[in-house]
Structure 1
Amino acid sequence: PQQTATNDVHLFKDGQEVKPSEHIQLTSTSPTTTEVQIIKAKPEDEGEYTVVIDNKEQPLMKLKVHPKPVVRQEMQLPKTRFNEKETLTIVCQFDATPEEPFVFLHNDQPIVADSRITTTVENNKYTIVVKDLRPEEDEGVYTL
């Protein structure tokens, strides 16, 4: 059999062509086989996949991606009530490095670091420090 070059194989997801990348790779493994590899599949990779070889469309698979469970984490909060001008420090420790970077939120809005607020990420530990606490401005729910 004649070898099919990977550039003759076109991959489609939900009818849209998917170009090979670091995330999705096409590799010819034999004259009649091309391997499709999705690196670190995510929920947005779900869909109906087909391939077109020599202008012939072939159904490939329906991909369902289950989100990876979140790594267990412990959040340390020394107390829930603070006085004006005190410093709030929240430390969140994970068992393993999360695959996706996390963002600190205050009342569902991303926290912007400034002279009073710092966020750090070291290995598996996420820390936020809010100095010189201000009533109303700093009150609310902090999440990661």
Structure 2
Amino acid sequence: MRIILVFVMLIALAPGTARAWSEPARGSATRSALMDAIRPHAEWMLGTPVEFVVHELRVAGPLAFASLWPQRPGGGQIDLRTTPAYYRNEIHPDDMDGIGMQALYYRSGQTWVAVHWAMGATDVWYAYEPICAVWRPVIPEACQGM
């Protein structure tokens, strides 16, 4: 048993395995502020009210990344064909991969700003050198090799 414990500790402390980011706890002020920063974008596209299922939430200093699934309060699904963005001809559901959202944030003072975001992306849009130059600490997997 000790050998296994030592082995696990060595792996955990090995170079390259440490992550630069952390996930804000549920109910924390940081998590709430990040959701509040992306919510106006989601509501503009999808209508109100919107809440999020969080798939990934990463923070490293003044940078953050979120992978979210918007829904109506209580888990209600959102039909893209009944949304304000659809009626404005800003989205085309047949060309989207659902309503999943990703956002890259920057904290300015005490305020989180969703600087880049996408909804229904069909590729990893943030795997792009100019984005990786800034947000690599929170999206290292997407930035490998850049």
The structure with more helix, counted as a fraction of residues = 2
Fold agreement, TM-score > 0.5: no
TM-score normalised by structure 2 residue count: 0.25
TM-score normalised by structure 1 residue count: 0.25
Asked which structure has the greater CA Rg, the reply is 1
Higher relative contact order (CA 8 A, sep 6+): 2
